[in-house]
Amino acid sequence: MDRASEYAAVRAQLASLLEDRPGFLAGMATACALLKEAFDHVLWVGFYLPAGDGSLAVGPYQGPVASLRLPPGKGVCGAAAASRTTVLVPDVHAFPGHIACDPRSKSEIVVPVLAGDTLRAVLDVDSHEPRAFDDRDREGLEEIARLLAPLP
């Protein structure tokens, strides 16, 4: 199965599981599990949630232990949160201010989860492979973020 088809399958399964509107936390946890299981190139997948002081606090995730709090505007997650746009990084070592949670991480993509103008979370996906993410990932993950954004 090609990557676009894999995302379509994950999106369909997630949409089905979210039909009863289980809540944002349950939706994020379920999305993490589905994405981690679907893609071999994913080392870590999870969400960071905006905190009152402008930092990002770790939410549901799958994979190795993560940073519990990211400073305001720092790293790939901070860049995506500040710009409210997806940030795709082919080589994390070339990204200024990258926050290394796991030395095996080589590439990363971070997608903001937006409800209107409100940032609800950022969806962070790391890979142990360099240049592991492309526009298929961007489109697939942005669709997943749109499914999660309106959950209560």
pLDDT tens, residue order, the chain (152 aa): 799 999 999 999 999 999 998 899 999 999 999 999 999 999 999 999 999 999 999 999 999 998 999 999 899 999 999 999 999 999 998 888 777 777 789 999 999 999 999 999 999 999 999 999 999 999 999 999 999 999 99
List of domains in the chain: 3-148 (3.30.450.40)
- For 63, residues 6+ apart whose C-beta sits below 8 A from its C-beta are 36, 42, 43, 44, 45, 46, 102, 126
pTM listed for this prediction: 0.95
